[in-house]
Amino acid sequence: MSNKTRERKVVLEVNNLGIYYETPKGDVRAVDGVSFQLFEGETLGFVGESGCGKSTTAMGILQLVTPPGRIVKGEVRLEGDDLLKMSEDTLRQRRWEKLALIPQGSMNSLNPTMKISSQIQDVIETHRGKQGKEAVQQRILNLFQMVGLPSRIYNMYPHELSGGMKQRVCIAMAIALNPNVVIADESTSALDVVVQRVVAQTILKVKKEMGVSMIMIGHDMGLMAQMVDRVAIMYAGQIVEISEVKALFKSPAHPYSKILIDSVPSLTERETMRVTEGITHDPRNPPSGCIFRLRCPFASNECAQKKPQHQMVRPGQSVACHLYQPQSDGSFIDVRETT
Ligand SMILES: Nc1ncnc2c1ncn2[C@@H]1O[C@H](COP(=O)(O)OP(=O)(O)OP(=O)(O)O)[C@@H](O)[C@H]1O
Ligand SMILES: [Mg+2]
């Protein structure tokens, strides 16, 4: 970890989080031992292929996992307090006030029968009690301004809005109570490329103006590169690398990170498109040792026998991979360079 990172205040800390879904053929280990820290004011990206457990992690952090899912282990510390040990009442208060989620697909789950302003008013009044009409109107208009929505949509219904506008309504709802941490799950994914950029810029603006810490979940490595400070790479329920974005793009440490980064199309070099196959093992029966070993071109016996632990192999780059062996002076060697 770089010195700059080490000095920063941790706002959210997740330790060894495990979330399983019960199925007739056994438990799907959707999240299996996820640990990370979110620093004050930073944006942390979560990337990984479909089904790797990004949304389940987000739901777990907010204690919103519902059956057949269940949290089987771990801690979620928000400013020191473990959310997993809190009463439902305290938790309900912390959600939105301190920690807000923009769920995946939320723009399509706005209530079609309620005006936009009433839906935001609901969020505010559920937590803060009944507000004066003018105060609440002012707050909603301020929120509109913050996310770049025109005041004319105040009395409109969701179906009258474009996708980009609906997504901005969801952002406005998430920040309505001034949370310290916002988790945005695929907030730009269902939009066309131009609108994606506009929504991404809205998120960056909100982040800067409110000084919130953010977790951004997404598929798009290119967009991530422009928006986040660090990236957590997830594979089959585990974080395999968590690195500062520049270092990650310059030299990804985990073999899976390299595959993901190489799959970003380049405009300057037109090459054959590299396709990555999906998670190959049955999520109810993960391989022994390293979770990625069945797809890893460098897998050795050690990878089958021992689960690799996270190590800070280079400044700002933490990776769980046996390719990196610690030396007596505290540095690491990449075993590929010694053979
Ligand atoms: N209700 C459920 N029952 C059984 N398995 C489930 C259920 N919901 C999710 N899963 C499994 O949990 C794993 C993680 O799913 P999750 O939705 O968290 O992935 P994700 O990374 O958010 O994917 P995407 O990029 O498609 O949004 C997947 O293997 C999925 O099939
Ligand atoms: Mg998801």
Identity of residue 326? P
Q: Is 105 in the pocket of ligand 1 (CB under 6 A)?
A: no
The half-sphere exposure of 132 on its side-chain side, counting CA atoms within 13 A, is 3
> What integer pLDDT is reported at residue 92 of this predicted model?
84
Angle at 65 between CA 63 and CA 11, to 5 degrees: 30
Rg of the chain (C-alpha set): 21
- Picking from 241, 274, 269, the residue whose alpha carbon sits closest to that of residue 255 is 241
Is 28 a pocket residue for ligand 1 (Cβ < 6 Å)? yes
CA angle at residue 334 from 242 to 327, to 5 degrees? 95
pLDDT at 94: 84
Rounded Cα distance between 53 and 33, Å, is 11
pLDDT at 265: 66
C-beta 51 within 6 A of ligand 1: yes
Predicted confidence at residue 263, as pLDDT, reads: 78
**CA pair distance 203, 191, nearest whole angstrom:** 14
The class level of CATH for 3-337 reads: alpha beta
| Atom number in ligand 1 closest to CA 234 | 21
State which of 25, 27, 46, 52 you would mutate to test the pocket of ligand 1, scoring each by most atoms of that ligand within 8 A of its C-beta.
52
* pLDDT of the residue at 270: 53
Long-range residue pairs from 279-283, CB within 8 A, at least 24 positions apart, any chain: 279/49, 279/51, 279/52, 279/235, 279/236, 281/236, 283/28, 283/29, 283/30, 283/51, 283/236, 283/237
**Model-level pTM greater than 0.85?**
yes
Ligand nearest to the CA of 67: 1
Q: Tell me which residues of the chain have a pLDDT lower than 50.
A: 1-3, 5, 273
